[in-house]
Amino acid sequence: MTIKNILITGGAGFIGSKLSLKLIDKGYVVTVLDNLSLQIHAEYSPLYLSIKDKVKFIKGDVRNKADWFLALDRQDVVVHLAAETGTGQSMYEIEKYVDVNIKGTAILLDILTNTQHSIKKLVIASSRSIYGEGKYHCKSCGTVYPDERKDNDMKRGDFQVKCPFCRANAELLPTDEESKIHPSSLYGITKQNQEQMVLTIGKSIGIPAVAFRYQNVYGPGQSLSNPYTGILSIFSTRIKNGNDITVFEDGLESRDFVYIDDVVDATILGIEKDEAAYEVFNVGFGERTNVLTVAEALKKEYSSHVNIIVSGNYRLGDIRDNYADLTKIKGKLGFTPKVDFENGIKRFAQWVNNQEIMMDNYDGSIEEMKLKGLFK
């Protein structure tokens, strides 16, 4: 399969812009379709400016069929990254998340199914959020896939994940691609839909498709002004504004943080390797780091004296823990992440130290959730 021209939707965003630059360095011709959302970046964003004169840029909306037709002209591959991404925000901005994430993807697939085109491969950005609480072990019941945590438990300060059968505390396991799909947020539901739509229609019309279930992506270039997603950016903006960091639950909830360069490398393997066709892959570092550790590491990197407050508050729809089993992507695509959290957070903090201090809008985002009854 000969690939030259690559369309990246959401290509002016965090992952998209970094992917664009790496693909250009490898000799590909890149087109970007992006609406330059004010919440994420806008026209003055360093991410957009980094690609502005290096790609064919189309300012457009994935919900607009005409924009899709313009962007798809003479393309070989579509990397579909454009999406609304805030887990908490998705629980009350329901129509917008469904409209952008699901309808936008449906329009792409409708065009590919019913019109002439040159597309040879589809890559869809999925998410670890589709696993919900992920894979666990119960001493009595074996491998289990717990439901979302109960409001009544968390009100009492019990944030542990329970076995869905006997209700004992369950032990976290690395989540593999065969694990149960049962998202606990509207965002996760939309990513599940995107993934299944692309893989199903791709197979039916003979276009190889691949889905990447990204864990928590971080690194230089991540939006410092978006209060809805990106815990390292949110904490960094609060620290730089001299505001205390409030950590939810007991601070021991954890995530698999994967550095942006590793995410880009994995995605390019999906574009270039035939072995990726019709497969789904976890993309993470394969280790868990708790939120309190993140906050303390950032304080240290910025030599800050702000307080870290473990609040006991929680957000409905948040998972407790998750980290990726990378066996499949290592075996099929030869991908191994290179940047561990200790080195990655240093690189990220060095970048933040050279950025303009952004306005801290985080308290406003929490007030929105409180009004909707989603923050306890």
Q: What long-range pairs does 361-364 form, CB within 8 A, spacing at least 24?
A: 361/225, 361/227, 362/227, 362/234, 362/237, 362/238, 362/243, 364/227
- 218 in active site: no
Q: How many CA atoms lie within 13 A of 188 on its CB side?
A: 19
Q: CA separation (Å) from 293 to 248, 289, 321, 323? A: 13, 7, 14, 16
315 three-state secondary structure: strand
What SS3 string covers 335-373? CCCCCCHHHHHHHHHHHHCCCCCCCCCHHHHHHHHHHCC
CA distance 18 to 13: 8
List of residues 6+ apart from 180 with CB closer than 8 A? 131, 132, 135, 145
Instruction: Indicate which residue of 97, 131, 145, 187 is catalytic.
Output: 187
Burial of 183 (0-12, 13-18, 19+ CB in 10 A): buried
Active site residues per annotation: 187
